[in-house]
Structure 1
């Protein structure tokens, strides 16, 4: 049984139904995170939401790496995923009070996910080199689990400090190969992955985040008892904003990046940088945008508060920043249009901060949506020019895609 749990590398693996079923828990988690930020729209609330978002993403991402190596339809892993879903549901339910009455619930569920999964793989794949890597990972998860549980027990400032350190321990560990005394370290060569599977898993998580954004938009409209033309307009703009982010991510880059990592001789490095880390600001940006959409729909007219401005403009800016870094990691170029778009959003935010009455929330939402659509249109124009370029006259397709 030690090696049978591993996936066959003879052909590219497809995402299994049980993986899609597992993702349902994270639909709930993303919704909880956006509601948490909306309920605590200040610096402390934003910091807490960011910390919890990083934890939720890390729990999901390690599972994505696990199912990349191991067959999710193997009975052992299928039962493991079921247990992870249960713990993930507890973790998601505890999110609104993770820095309060349910801190221990959150920490305990998170630790159960990270440590439990790693124990199973390190034992089941013990005869394979990846089993040794998971043993190293287990050491670091056990170390961080002490910080998570202790922080939850202490509460207050100590909880925040210990949880920040716990996340730093976990996020820095891959960069030094989980170096462990007496056990050595893993090299990037040991992390060779099925690139197409990893790309598809992350694409699905982006869909989850966008789906939550659409859900919030619909619910906000449904719960509004006083519909006006401005409210309906804000609803339409929010929906078009979600479509624009989907377009930017999926129209061309997602497929090209999936092909790049699938054909790469260094798939482990790309999986770590482009997918494990660079997707974080994209997902966070979608969550923040959903909060901005809800605020704009609820109050489309009048002055724009700082919180509304930061979410309406900051969400798309964060998403485009992550997408630019993602393209930089995969293709080696920083896309110019995303830099320009981020600059426009930043300038608008500065103006609104100085003059809150300059633009109502609806106008600000229109601006943000137009900027993201501008990026999508720019990408489409470059793609069309590339398709019309005679072979050999221009740079390779991947290069053109990245410059855009």
Structure 2
């Protein structure tokens, strides 16, 4: 299937599997977006007049909106040829739109709400309409209609939410919009008369899609490194803050280790062996979404115990210090089931250990709480290492 300049629209065996430089360029925008979300959360946790839990909810809505933009783009470039000019134009549109949304994030529930919402709606609808027109309905004339149907459903909630002055009403409207968007994503955009159809249902570039998920998770870890470095470079470099800095770095390495052992490193093999690769790719997207949200929240916890290692530990801080790693392990557990149709006891044990820390950590300082979490992560990583020594390398056997 070729466009008017003779370039392919659909991928084939000759299409390169590695991410293009333009796709990696797009990822830089999302690095910036994650730093803005982290900055919002840090302010919510550290300023007394802020409602921390409302701030977390707002940051989650913004994160989900950005993740939806990235996910649709990645699925598209794992189904379509990213070197085709039409596809490259869509990626550039996404880059500009996502950057505009990112700069609006710090005040997206205030003065920049309309900018965030209108940019999101314009981007999501605009790139589908452009692809449908520029591609002359190829390669699938019905798929853009399905996606457009769901984006049009959610658009009024995004736009009206961005224009109202009441933050509570805005949050409710944007929550409805997110639910609509993710229902469409999860179910393959079911549409009257046309039914449902996920992107890449006929063929999907497993190696490319797997690499893109892995790259975004590394982006999230890189954002956590950014938070750690920024927090420590602005500190007094006293022994307690230095201990917090080292502890945060060790914890980040452990998150990396837990992800890539073993499921995170064989995503392409699981997609290749899947009976329904498009469905598995959808579930993998949600597992990575949970893990990345957990990493962002964990990075906020790093900032808290680096800057205030021995101070009072507010109960709300446990949402970041304990909740972030717990979210990561939940997503990682789901991914393991998707890849191997099983769940390691170490993952379940890690989650239970974090749960047991909840009633204990309010009585200790932030640094001690961070150290306890690091020990839990070390235990999970250690169990993985022991399992690898006792058993031969495992072949993916996806659940779907």
RMSD, aligned α-carbons: 2.2
Paired residues, number: 388
Give runs of aligned pairs for residues 234-273 of structure 1, distance below 5 A. 234-273=244-283
Displacement of 1:70 in angstroms is 1.9
State the distance in 1 between where 2:331 and 2:198 align: 26
State the distance in 1 between where 2:346 and 2:71 align: 29
> Is the Cα contact below 8 Å between 1:5 and 1:125 reproduced in 2?
no
Give runs of aligned pairs for residues 302-313 of structure 1, distance below 5 A. 302-313=311-322
Residue among 96, 99, 102 paired with 2:109 = 99
State the distance in 2 between where 1:187 and 1:103 align: 31
2:394 counterpart of 1:383: no
What TM-score, normalized to structure 1?
A: 0.90
2:208 counterpart of 1:197: yes
Displacement of 1:234 in angstroms is 0.4
Give runs of aligned pairs for residues 343-354 of structure 1, distance below 5 A. 343-352=352-361
Alignment-derived partner of residue 119 in structure 2: 109
Deviation by residue 1:35-75 (Cα, 9 ceiling, x = unmatched): 11111231101111111111111111111111112222222
State the distance in 2 between where 1:150 and 1:5 align: 39
Q: Which moved more, 1:129-138 or 1:298-307?
A: 129-138
Give runs of aligned pairs for residues 37-76 of structure 1, distance below 5 A. 37-41=41-45, 42-76=52-86
What SS class does the counterpart of residue 387 from structure 1 fall into? coil
2:379 counterpart of 1:368: no
> Is the Cα contact below 8 Å between 2:65 and 2:178 reproduced in 1?
yes
Shift in CA distance, 69/364, structure 1 to aligned 2, threshold 3 Å: same
2:302 counterpart of 1:293: yes
> Is the Cα contact below 8 Å between 1:189 and 1:266 reproduced in 2?
no
> Is the Cα contact below 8 Å between 2:190 and 2:196 reproduced in 1?
yes
State the distance in 2 between where 1:33 and 1:302 align: 25
What SS class does the counterpart of residue 358 from structure 2 fall into? helix
**Structure 1 residues not aligned, in runs of 5+:** 389-395
Displacement of 1:131 in angstroms is 3.9
Displacement of 1:311 in angstroms is 1.0
Alignment-derived partner of residue 173 in structure 1: 184
Alignment-derived partner of residue 96 in structure 2: 86
State the distance in 1 between where 2:198 and 2:122 align: 26
State the distance in 1 between where 2:146 and 2:115 align: 26
State the distance in 2 between where 1:126 and 1:323 align: 40
> Is the Cα contact below 8 Å between 1:126 and 1:132 reproduced in 2?
no
Alignment-derived partner of residue 392 in structure 1: none
> Is the Cα contact below 8 Å between 1:122 and 1:132 reproduced in 2?
no
Residue among 193, 198, 220 paired with 1:209 = 220
Alignment-derived partner of residue 25 in structure 1: 29
2:130 counterpart of 1:120: yes
Displacement of 1:303 in angstroms is 2.9
State the distance in 2 between where 1:117 and 1:188 align: 15
Shift in CA distance, 187/322, structure 1 to aligned 2, threshold 3 Å: closer
**Structure with greater helix percent:** 1
What SS class does the counterpart of residue 40 from structure 1 fall into? helix
Q: Which moved more, 1:134-143 or 1:89-98?
A: 134-143
Deviation by residue 1:80-104 (Cα, 9 ceiling, x = unmatched): 2222211111100001111111001
**Structure 2 residues not aligned, in runs of 5+:** 46-51
Shift in CA distance, 235/180, structure 1 to aligned 2, threshold 3 Å: same
Displacement of 1:280 in angstroms is 1.4
Shift in CA distance, 176/257, structure 1 to aligned 2, threshold 3 Å: closer
State the distance in 1 between where 2:81 and 2:251 align: 37
What SS class does the counterpart of residue 280 from structure 1 fall into? helix
State the distance in 2 between where 1:117 and 1:246 align: 34
> Is the Cα contact below 8 Å between 1:18 and 1:73 reproduced in 2?
no
What SS class does the counterpart of residue 350 from structure 1 fall into? coil
